[in-house]
Amino acid sequence: MGPSVLNRRVMLTGALAALSASAAWGQDAYPSRPVKIIVPTGAGAALDTVARGLAAQLETLLGVPFVVENKPGANSTIGSEFVARSSPDGYTLLYTGQAITVNPSLYKLSYDAQQSFVPIATVATAPITLVVPRDSRFATVRDLIREAKSNQTNALTYGSAGLGSPPYLAAELFRQKAEVEFVHVPYKGAAQALTDLLGGRLDLMFPSLSLAQGFIATDKLRVLGIASEQRSSLAPDIPTIAEMGLPGFATSSWSGIVAPAGTPDAVVLRLENAIHQILEKEDVKEFFQKQGLDRGFRGRQAFVALIGEELQNWSRMLGKPKGE
């Protein structure tokens, strides 16, 4: 073997080793520049508030700016589509709520909730309550179910922020589980629906605990139960709806962070571990409590399972979007 051939082999081996080291360094060094977190709702909305709190914590922990950018519209589909089409390098992420699993049953989408994203971790859950006006004839969940079953001609009314909103989903899940009929009255927002409930113009509602808690505390609303699988740490005295007469019923509104499909596993794991570490902090717990939220960490695999389960549940409940 001549010296020139040997030298070429040595140079090639060195180049490959350098390339391999460079690739490994690139993964280990993530993040090395600012990261965008896309929020598919407007500034000031609940999803936005949590995303900004998380971004500040990630910035402190990982040492680069995490910048929240709002891309609202079309029930979160505009921001979601933007991230689905983004480069899968870990520098564009989506902070999403349940809309990611609900929208496939409501709209024709250009992306796929399972195939277009890599789930990283869930972050928070918003407990949902079942409330009635303070002078309601319903004192318990069983009372409500009993009348709903016996009075088919004048179905009970409930309000929500519209098709696909958490109060709507909770009410429809309750209706199907209890095998009763309700009349849905949609509003532009949950606050407007709650105003009509307070005025006695609706029979019941499933608002978030954060929205209803002040009215519950001042006896302006009567709470019949909380929709979570377990009692919330935010209001441990409120029993679950399952405890109070509808076994097996459970739902809550969650939010979490996903990346475009194809994002390297090392990047996903780095973010997953960082979020887990952040959610263990006492000041983060206090931040969530002020927002009326429970910390709700699920790692990548559990998040994948949650999305798959909810896609099936909402498809079964809501059907397919028109035209399919």
Q: What is the CATH number of the domain that holds 47?
A: 3.40.190.150
> Do 134 and 222 fall within a single domain?
yes
d(CA 319, CA 312): 10
94 contacts 258 by C-beta, under 8 angstroms: yes
CA-closest candidate to residue 189, choices 169, 201, 207: 207
- Does residue 143 or residue 10 have the better pLDDT? 143
Q: Is 117 a domain residue?
A: yes
Give the distance, in angstroms, between the CA of residue 169 and the centroid of all CA atoms in the same chain: 13
> From edge to edge, which strands make up the β-sheet containing 156-160?
182-186, 156-160, 204-205, 129-133, 221-226
pLDDT higher than threshold 50 for residue 77: yes
> Do 119 and 263 fall within a single domain?
yes
Residue 190: what pLDDT?
A: 87
> Do 92 and 169 fall within a single domain?
no
Q: Is 180 a domain residue?
A: yes
> Do 122 and 256 fall within a single domain?
yes
Q: Is 287 a domain residue?
A: yes
d(CA 286, CA 264): 33
Of 210, 226, 242, which closes a domain? 226
Average pLDDT, the chain: 90
Of 226, 243, 269, which closes a domain? 226
Q: Is 187 a domain residue?
A: yes
Residue 22: what pLDDT?
A: 39
Confidence band (pLDDT; 50, 70, 90) for 1?
low
Mean pLDDT within 245-249: 94
> Do 136 and 281 fall within a single domain?
no
Mean pLDDT within 127-147: 96
> Do 256 and 277 fall within a single domain?
yes
The pairing of strands 156-160 and 204-205 is parallel
> Do 257 and 112 fall within a single domain?
yes
pLDDT higher than threshold 80 for residue 146: yes
CA-closest candidate to residue 77, choices 162, 164, 161: 164
Structure tokens at 290: 């002020």
Q: How long a stretch of residues is the chain?
A: 324
Of 208, 226, 244, which closes a domain? 226
What share of the chain has pLDDT > 70, as a percent? 90
Q: Is 19 a domain residue?
A: no
d(CA 255, CA 120): 11
Quick count: other Cβ atoms within 10 Å of Cβ 293? 26
Q: Is 141 a domain residue?
A: yes
Confidence band (pLDDT; 50, 70, 90) for 45?
confident
pLDDT higher than threshold 60 for residue 15: no
> Do 256 and 119 fall within a single domain?
yes
- Cα separations in angstroms, 204 against 16, 175, 233: 67, 12, 24
pLDDT higher than threshold 90 for residue 19: no
- Does residue 12 or residue 199 have the better pLDDT? 199
Residue 44: what pLDDT?
A: 87
> Do 260 and 119 fall within a single domain?
yes
CATH number for the domain that contains residue 206: 3.40.190.10
CA-closest candidate to residue 268, choices 80, 107, 117: 117
Q: Does pTM top 0.85 for this prediction?
A: no
> Do 121 and 151 fall within a single domain?
no
Structure tokens at 100: 């990611």
Residue 321: what pLDDT?
A: 67
> Do 119 and 262 fall within a single domain?
yes
Q: Residue 220 belongs to what domain range?
A: 129-226
Q: Is 291 a domain residue?
A: yes
> Do 194 and 277 fall within a single domain?
no
Query: How many domains is the chain partitioned into structurally?
Result: 2
d(CA 6, CA 80): 53
Tens digit of each residue's pLDDT (9 = 90 or more) over 152-165? 778 999 999 888 88
Q: Is 238 a domain residue?
A: no
Q: DSSP string covering 260-294, please?
A: ETT--HHHHHHHHHHHHHHHT-HHHHHHHHHTT-E
